[in-house]
Amino acid sequence: MNGNCEYQGVGEAPKKDGFAHFMLKEIYEQPQAFQKALQGRIQQGQVKFAELNLTREQVKRWDKIYIIACGTAYHSGLFGKLLLEEFLGVAVEVEIASEFRYRHPLLNENTLAIFVSQSGETADTLGALRKAKNSGATTLAITNVVGSTIAQEADYNLYLGAGPEIAVASTKAYTSMLIMQYLLSIYLAQVKGTMPEQKKAKILTALQELPEKAQQILTQREFYPEVIQKIKNVQSLFFIGRVFDYYIALEGALKLKETSYIHAEAYGAGEIKHGTMAIVTEETPVVAVAVQKSVYEKTVHIVKEVVAKGAFVSAVVEEGDTEMQKWAHHVIYIPQIENIVSPILAVIPLQLLAYYTAVARGCNVDQPRNLTKAVTME
């Protein structure tokens, strides 16, 4: 099944609107997608979801939260875990749907299970949703395709509104999922009364700045040719970062693998020392994400180490950063923004890196070999 079918009129082919590929078009549609994800959901300094009418008693009852998804959607769930644990004070587990559905998770009526799926038709995510429902958990879906099975079967559903995503590699749906993770975690904490107003105000202001700042990133094409030359013919490369930057690194690695067929792995920057450093050489470029201030120095430290092993390093940092350029061979700058949301911007250069590398290697960018847009069969 085509996960985007409801967006296309009968007989109407999706259009690239002058872009060489759907993936590039969808990367460039992110500012509008961000606006759609935010539209109507921030009112007078509060997060509002017309789709949710949760009471404080309901939210307080949840003593365990799961976020369950596959692939890129799973990567967005990692953000949800950190945000919910911090804002709501409840333990959150993020699980790969194909694993979750075949084990014995602790689920009951005090559990909230959140399912994230662009298509809303992914077989494993749907199987996990049915399992959670049968165990008495409250289920909440975050989906993009209107009327999908997951959207219909979950107790609650939040639409991303990112519009049709045709390229197999998810880009605008992913960043819209990230925005939704911020909005949802703030909303739940707001209902429960655990979110400091000042902190909420800062984050909501920053989320509203995202469309404009994403647009700035999309106009800065000068960063990519040099790094593409360095990575387009390698066998393998690594992405590193810490905390949110690590989750972005995971997404960057997946994007590069699926579009350009280069082997790529992501590590929490410190973890690379526990084995993988043995294969870091001049043959293995490293892409470092270092936009989180709280862990910035730690990531710089690992960058110095991989440079000493001979690796070419390209780093994504915030504008105004003067330290990283002393160590990394190549630096990509993103606009400054409230630090907790900066990783949403930092992933855009990684999407472009994957796209341009795939093009340079002559790959079938929109329809990579062996993959389908929605994995509706196990």
Which residues sit at the interface with ligand M6R, rule CB under 6 A? Answer: 3, 70-73, 117-119, 122, 125, 168-170, 254, 258, 374-375
Least distance from ligand M6R to the Cβ atom of residue 285, Å: 21
Shorter beta-carbon distance to ligand M6R: residue 121 or 321: 121
Shorter beta-carbon distance to ligand M6R: residue 30 or 117: 117
Least distance from ligand M6R to the Cβ atom of residue 19, Å: 18
- Using CA atoms, how far apart are residues 333 and 220, in angstroms rounded to an integer? 9
Shorter beta-carbon distance to ligand M6R: residue 90 or 169: 169
338 contacts: CB under 8 Å, gap ≥ 6: 202, 203, 205, 206, 209
Shorter beta-carbon distance to ligand M6R: residue 210 or 254: 254
Q: Is 243 helix (H, G, I), strand (E, B) or coil?
A: coil
Pairing between β-strand 236-241 and β-strand 286-289 as defined by DSSP bridges: parallel
Calculated CA dihedral for residues 229, 226, 358, 80, nearest 10 degrees: 130
- Using CA atoms, how far apart are residues 163 and 6, in angstroms rounded to an integer? 10
Least distance from ligand M6R to the Cβ atom of residue 289, Å: 18
Whether residue 311 contacts residue 291, with contact meaning beta carbons closer than 8 Å, is answered with no
Shorter beta-carbon distance to ligand M6R: residue 185 or 351: 351
Shorter beta-carbon distance to ligand M6R: residue 81 or 373: 373
- Using CA atoms, how far apart are residues 311 and 270, in angstroms rounded to an integer? 16
Shorter beta-carbon distance to ligand M6R: residue 158 or 337: 158
DSSP state of 110: T
Q: Is 42 helix (H, G, I), strand (E, B) or coil?
A: strand
Whether residue 117 contacts residue 148, with contact meaning beta carbons closer than 8 Å, is answered with yes
Q: Is 41 helix (H, G, I), strand (E, B) or coil?
A: coil
Shorter beta-carbon distance to ligand M6R: residue 254 or 302: 254
Pairing between β-strand 156-159 and β-strand 46-47 as defined by DSSP bridges: unpaired
Least distance from ligand M6R to the Cβ atom of residue 157, Å: 14
Six-digit token pair at 215? Answer: 């647009």
Q: Is 81 helix (H, G, I), strand (E, B) or coil?
A: helix
Least distance from ligand M6R to the Cβ atom of residue 341, Å: 21
Six-digit token pair at 227? Answer: 């790094």
Q: Is 38 helix (H, G, I), strand (E, B) or coil?
A: helix
Whether residue 121 contacts residue 3, with contact meaning beta carbons closer than 8 Å, is answered with yes
Six-digit token pair at 19? Answer: 């872009």
* Backbone Cα Rg of the chain: 20
Give the residue closest to ligand M6R by C-beta.
Answer: 71
- Using CA atoms, how far apart are residues 205 and 191, in angstroms rounded to an integer? 19
Least distance from ligand M6R to the Cβ atom of residue 98, Å: 10
Shorter beta-carbon distance to ligand M6R: residue 248 or 306: 248
Closest CA to 299 of 328, 341, 330: 328
DSSP state of 300: H
Six-digit token pair at 129? Answer: 């949703």
Least distance from ligand M6R to the Cβ atom of residue 63, Å: 27
Shorter beta-carbon distance to ligand M6R: residue 72 or 111: 72
